[in-house]
């Protein structure tokens, strides 16, 4: 009985004083220290790891005598081991350990504080920017977003612990709703940037201009340009280029969607290659066919798609 | 035992400094065939061009020999300057597959490169030979996988 009581007391003490530090769902630090505190060396190593994980500037550290300091995000924290003095941006407090909550606040890091747990975001959105056909999201950390297209809106949903404007969104929470009559066509991910390409399902052109690839002299101004020639049953569409900084992506996305549908319907290969005769930022493709009589069927199917 | 140690000592630098590079050739159906090769020197791009023009048995390549004139890196872009004489006489299909083979191989081996620009004989040109537009950069996203899909 006595042993059981002793065990319960010890367990209780652990629950009361233990402290876990998470980045998203990832446990980064766990100890039986006084709630929400950690040793100086653990703190320094955590900040170094966190800045690396989030692709933020690394902290600088140093020491003068027994005074150790860390400079990060425009703020300085320091700790004098012998005198147990702790400094946050010039303000001193007597403490043997790092008061994490004070420091995170000083560093202007958003966090969620629960009983014996602190959770930092694993994604920090710095900006959501929308133009006509593109939504750009710049961020630090890892991509923890999903997108749901609903009628006349696109919802950005958190899949992790995502911060924006100092607020943290937990998994499943809606971060933002963007009103638009367009749909999501593609999501392109680069380190620190998610670019969502939107398109309107109704195509701007409904007219199809079919021309023999070899005989093209002057490209007509309007209509979907369907170039064709003899070949090995494939469709070729133009790729986009970094030189256009995204302005050619919506047309590329529409071209690819139409080409995929035609390729599936007529069992053709789909090739992406910037052919000179394919005009830039224009709905167009080249179809190479082993049986040239199929072009009229393809033209009819394309007209149906554009309707 | 002494002999084994000697062999080990000789092979150690080779193992330590060799790096693996992936070269894309084509099979008889024009599907990509990747081959992994070791190379320990610094001039990797010349090595890649040399290997691309020399397909392993059972494969073919549309990359001709003596093609690369020069190359340079500009931030995250790679500019390659090609010799027009080496590209003479290639047809529509060869011109496209040459571009796919080359870009697929470059993006596979140079992970820090986001785009590739092609110049010919030291000058910017509109077309590589007759068909492929080389006025603009080629993005990693397209050629980080084989840019031809579907069909039978």
3-class secondary structure per residue, B38-79: EECCCCHHHHHHHHHCCCCCCCECCCCCCCEEEEEEECCEEE
One domain, residues A224 and A237: yes
Instruction: Report whether pLDDT(B64) > 80.
Output: yes
pLDDT score recorded for residue A222: 81
Six token digits for residue A239: 């790729």
Residue B56: band (very low, low, confident or very high) from pLDDT cuts 50, 70, 90: very high
One domain, residues A222 and A146: no
Interface probe, candidates A231, A276, A281, chain B, greatest B C-beta count within 10 A = A276
Q: Considering A199, A217, A249, which residue would you say is the last residue of a domain?
A: A199
**Radius of gyration of chain A from Cα atoms?**
29
Half-sphere exposure of A159 (CA within 13 A, CB side): 7
One domain, residues A128 and A65: no
pLDDT score recorded for residue B17: 46
One domain, residues A89 and A188: no
One domain, residues A32 and A111: yes
- Give the other-Cβ count within 10 Å of A90's Cβ: 7
Helices and strands per DSSP (H, E), number in chain B: 5, 7
Residue A283 · residue A203 · CB < 8 Å:
yes
pLDDT score recorded for residue A266: 95
pLDDT score recorded for residue A3: 47
Chain position carrying tokens 């709905």: A283
Q: Considering A91, A120, A149, which residue would you say is the last residue of a domain?
A: A120
Instruction: Report whether pLDDT(B98) > 90.
Output: yes
Residue B57 at interface with chain A, using a CB cutoff of 8 Å: no
| CATH code of A134's domain | 2.60.40.790
One domain, residues A226 and A172: no
Q: Smallest CA–CA separation between A295 and chain B, in Å?
A: 16
Number of structural domains chain A divides into? 3
Chain position carrying tokens 């073919």: B60
One domain, residues A132 and A225: no
Q: Considering A199, A223, A246, which residue would you say is the last residue of a domain?
A: A199
B137:A270 CB<8 A: no
Q: Smallest CA–CA separation between B93 and chain A, in Å?
A: 9
One domain, residues A111 and A174: no
pLDDT score recorded for residue B16: 44
| C-alpha to C-alpha distance for B45 and B70, rounded to whole angstroms | 10
Residue A144: which domain range? 123-199
Do β-strands A234-237 and A117-120 pair in parallel, antiparallel, or remain unpaired? unpaired
A268:B151 CB<8 A: yes
pLDDT score recorded for residue A36: 66
One domain, residues A231 and A253: yes
pLDDT score recorded for residue A4: 47
Half-sphere exposure of B140 (CA within 13 A, CB side): 16
The minimal CB distance from B114 to the residues A240, A242, A276 is found for: A242
A239:B139 CB<8 A: yes
One domain, residues A14 and A108: yes
* CB < 8 Å & 24+ apart, contacts of B51-60: B51/B21, B51/B23, B52/B23, B52/B24, B52/B25, B52/B101, B52/B102, B52/B105, B55/B25, B55/B26, B56/B25, B58/B27, B58/B33, B59/B25, B59/B26, B59/B27, B59/B33, B59/B35, B60/B25, B60/B26, B60/B27, B60/B28
B132:A275 CB<8 A: yes
Each residue's pLDDT, cut to its tens digit, for chain A (307 residues) gives 444 444 434 444 444 446 788 999 889 888 776 666 788 888 899 999 999 999 888 999 998 888 899 999 888 888 888 888 888 888 888 887 788 888 888 888 899 988 788 999 999 999 999 887 889 999 999 999 999 887 778 899 999 999 999 899 999 999 999 888 788 888 888 889 999 988 776 566 678 888 898 877 777 778 899 999 999 999 999 999 999 887 788 889 889 999 999 999 999 999 999 999 999 878 999 999 999 889 999 999 999 988 7
Do β-strands A284-289 and A224-230 pair in parallel, antiparallel, or remain unpaired? parallel
Inter-chain CB pairs, A–B, below 8 Å: 69
pLDDT score recorded for residue B4: 56
B150:A263 CB<8 A: yes
pLDDT score recorded for residue A247: 79
The minimal CB distance from A241 to the residues B137, B147, B149 is found for: B137
Residue A213 · residue A271 · CB < 8 Å:
no
pLDDT score recorded for residue A83: 85
């Amino acid at each position: 009985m006595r042993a059981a009581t002793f065990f319960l007391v010890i367990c209780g003490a652990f629950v009361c004083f233990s402290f876990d530090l998470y980045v998203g769902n990832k446990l980064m630090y766990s100890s039986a220290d006084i709630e929400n505190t950690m040793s100086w060396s653990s703190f320094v190593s955590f900040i170094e790891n966190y800045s690396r994980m989030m692709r933020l500037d690394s902290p600088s550290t140093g020491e003068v005598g027994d005074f150790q300091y860390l400079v990060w995000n425009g703020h300085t924290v320091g700790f004098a081991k012998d005198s147990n003095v702790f400094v946050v941006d010039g303000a001193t407090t007597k403490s043997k350990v790092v008061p994490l909550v004070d420091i995170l606040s000083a560093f202007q890091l958003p966090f969620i504080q629960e009983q014996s747990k602190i959770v930092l975001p694993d994604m920090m959105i710095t900006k959501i920017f929308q133009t006509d056909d593109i939504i750009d999201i710049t961020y630090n950390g890892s991509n923890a977003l999903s997108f749901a297209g609903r009628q006349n809106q696109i919802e950005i949903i958190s899949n992790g612990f995502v911060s924006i404007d100092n607020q943290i969104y937990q998994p499943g929470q809606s971060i933002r709703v963007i009103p638009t009559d367009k749909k999501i066509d593609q999501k392109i991910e680069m380190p620190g940037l998610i670019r969502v390409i939107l398109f309107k399902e109704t195509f701007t052109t409904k007219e199809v201009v079919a021309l023999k690839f070899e005989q093209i002299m002057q490209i007509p101004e309007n209509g979907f340009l369907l170039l064709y020639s003899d070949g090995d049953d494939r469709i070729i569409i133009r790729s986009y280029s970094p030189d256009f900084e995204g302005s050619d992506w919506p047309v590329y996305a529409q071209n690819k969607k139409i080409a995929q549908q035609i390729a599936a319907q007529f069992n053709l290969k789909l090739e992406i290659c910037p052919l000179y005769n394919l005009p830039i930022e224009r709905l167009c493709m080249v179809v190479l066919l082993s049986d040239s009589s199929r072009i009229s069927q393809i033209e009819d199917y394309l007209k149906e798609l554009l309707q | 035992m002494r002999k084994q140690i000697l062999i080990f000592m000789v092979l150690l630098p080779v193992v330590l400094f060799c790096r693996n590079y992936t070269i894309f050739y084509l099979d008889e159906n024009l599907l990509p065939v990747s081959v992994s090769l070791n190379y320990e020197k610094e001039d990797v791009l010349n090595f890649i061009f040399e290997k691309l023009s020399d397909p392993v048995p059972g494969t073919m390549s549309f990359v001709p020999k003596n093609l690369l004139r020069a190359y340079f890196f500009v931030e995250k872009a790679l500019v390659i300057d090609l010799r027009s004489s080496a590209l003479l006489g290639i047809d529509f299909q060869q011109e496209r597959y040459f571009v796919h083979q080359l870009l697929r191989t470059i993006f596979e081996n140079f992970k820090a490169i986001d785009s590739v620009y092609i110049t010919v004989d030291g000058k910017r040109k509109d077309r590589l030979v007759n068909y492929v537009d080389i006025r603009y950069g080629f993005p990693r996203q397209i050629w980080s996988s084989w840019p031809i899909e579907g069909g039978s």
